[in-house]
Structure 1
Amino acid sequence: MAGKTWEITIIKHGTRVTRRSDVFMNYGFYDEPDDSFRLDYYLWALRSGDQVIHVDTGYSAAGAAKRGRTVLIDPLEALDRLGMNAGEGNPVVVTHAHYDHIGNLAAFANSPVFISRKELEFWTSDIATRPLFSHFGDQDEVADIMEAKREGRVREFDGQLEIAPGVELIEVGGHTPGQLVVRVQSTIGPVILAADAAHFHEEVERDMLFQSMADLPQSYRVLDWLRNQDVAAIITGHNPGELERFEPVGGSLAGIAAVVGGARCLTG
């Protein structure tokens, strides 16, 4: 992965406030008082020169309304402001097929879509419609992936795949059967986009699992793996305050986006 470096843009498109007991699995086991807890919702974009790679596509307006989620900005509008139009055909990485990571995928109608084979097989199986999984899944949006597959645009793989110099997809599982993380070479060094392999830094630091995990033992192993990575930064899928750790984007995206490992501060 040496050589080419990428600028990583974090886009916060949604947020919600809930309780700690609604976020961490079996919270009562920790014998701690309950309290309010904020989750933020992100998508990510990688840019190196004229090359762009999208990592997840956020939740759609319909997906947000169905679950009472706040929309801070339409993900497609945010990308447009950054000069990354969804129709340009840039690759899309699906870290996992939950509603808040594959909404809006139909707008990327010219893009190749990278997804774990296990992930796609799971979400097209009968188990995906069982209540403990279907709350986070959306069969209409899974259908968008299947449409892309019929068009020959889906790139399924197992294990690890370098999709461009400096961008490696790693299948870790745990949260979902084919959960991916993305290892990106940036100017600050290697960065891991954990997506929902780790929703929050507290999950990694305190060994506290998120409420929904497809494979509990593997989920713990993934946290161990993340703790052992020699990287400049791990960026989680939902931790509040991820933007504050990095260089803010100004203009119309102030408070909505930040840049990791870039040589400049973008103005959206």
Structure 2
Amino acid sequence: METYEILALRYAVHDRPARENFLFWPEGDPHAAMPLDYFVWVVRNAARTVLVDTGFGPEAAAAHGRTLLVHPAEGLRALGVDPEAVRDVIITHLHYDHAGNLAAFPNATFHLQDAEMAFATGRCMCHARLRGAFAVEDVVAMVRHVYAGRVRFTDGDAVLCPGLSVHRVPGHTQGLQCVRVATERGAVVLASDAAHYYANLETRNPYSITVDVAATMESWDRLAALADGPDHVVPGHDPLVMQRYPRAGVAGLDAVRLDLAPTGR
């Protein structure tokens, strides 16, 4: 089986109190700071490069009050990835912070769950609270890519190429998918927003944006089953990721290697 290098590129940050990151009242000091980090992920080996999510740009950062550290496309170039050369992009879900900047990848096929497109374009979007994390223009752009033949849909689980697969883990959205990657240290699971933080998993307390609480909790068990151990599940927004994993070694860029064993707690 092929194995891959995984790079997590931190492109934006947002400060917020801990209580905003849990559906139920959290243990400890609810006023403690618990920032969000925003990532895109590069999965690559000598044969192929696959991007996981596309992040957001300056307009979305301003609209949502986030601090953009680097435009994802520019960060990818610093990692040696030409956005125009990317052929496959996995979109874990269609929230604004995961599915913006699609135009930066003009030659890519986008991999998406059937359920996510149905969710983002269906009756649930009549409710302001459910559509708040979606950007309508990003969703419309994805619809246009469907009509252009540039979207490949999955219904559940699918192997995209040797050692790389996607798996539906609903709860945060109806069609959220995680990514399982074969590495030299075993199977690593990019949880995306199935678990924003390690603490969501450790305390069994979902993130505050959750469409289906029961499905979220069942999806945690799925993450664990797919990964080769607890330290092989990587949450989607936790600043601890930057502390626990070795740096990618690119000057001036916040990026870490997830295919290497974590070095801290």
User: Shorter-chain TM-score: what band?
Assistant: over 0.9
Match of 1:11 among 9, 12, 19: 9
AA aligned to 1:159 is G
Instruction: Give unmatched runs, 5+ long, in structure 1.
Output: 263-268
Match of 1:56 among 53, 58, 62: 53
**What per-residue deviation string (whole Å, max 9, x for no partner) do you get for residues 153-202 of structure 1?**
10011011100100010011111001101000011111000000111000
Is the aligned partner of 1:109 residue 2:106?
A: yes
Q: Distance in 1 between matches of 2:46 and 2:28?
A: 50
Instruction: Give unmatched runs, 5+ long, in structure 2.
Output: 261-265
Q: Distance in 2 between matches of 1:46 and 1:146?
A: 25
Match of 2:131 among 125, 129, 134: 134
Q: What is the CA-CA distance between 1:230 and the residue it aligns to?
A: 4.4
TM-score relative to the length of structure 1? 0.91
Q: 1:102 to 1:205 in 2, by over 3 A?
A: same
Q: Distance in 1 between matches of 2:80 and 2:227?
A: 32
- Where does residue 240 of structure 2 map in the other structure? 241
Q: 1:231 to 1:253 in 2, by over 3 A?
A: farther
AA aligned to 2:14 is R
Match of 1:202 among 196, 199, 202: 199
**What per-residue deviation string (whole Å, max 9, x for no partner) do you get for residues 19-55 of structure 1?**
1121111327x58543221111111011110410000
TM-score relative to the length of structure 2? 0.92
Cα pair 1:109 1:148 within 8 Å, conserved: no
Greater shift, 229-238 or 148-157, is seen at 229-238
Is the aligned partner of 1:120 residue 2:132?
A: no
AA aligned to 2:13 is T
Count matched residues: 259
Give the share of equivalent positions with the same residue, in percent.
30
Q: What is the CA-CA distance between 1:229 and the residue it aligns to?
A: 4.4
Cα pair 2:189 2:227 within 8 Å, conserved: no
- Where does residue 99 of structure 1 map in the other structure? 96
Q: What is the CA-CA distance between 1:146 and the residue it aligns to?
A: 1.0
AA aligned to 2:22 is F
| RMSD between aligned residues | 1.8
AA aligned to 1:19 is P
Match of 1:155 among 152, 156, 170: 152
Q: 1:228 to 1:161 in 2, by over 3 A?
A: closer
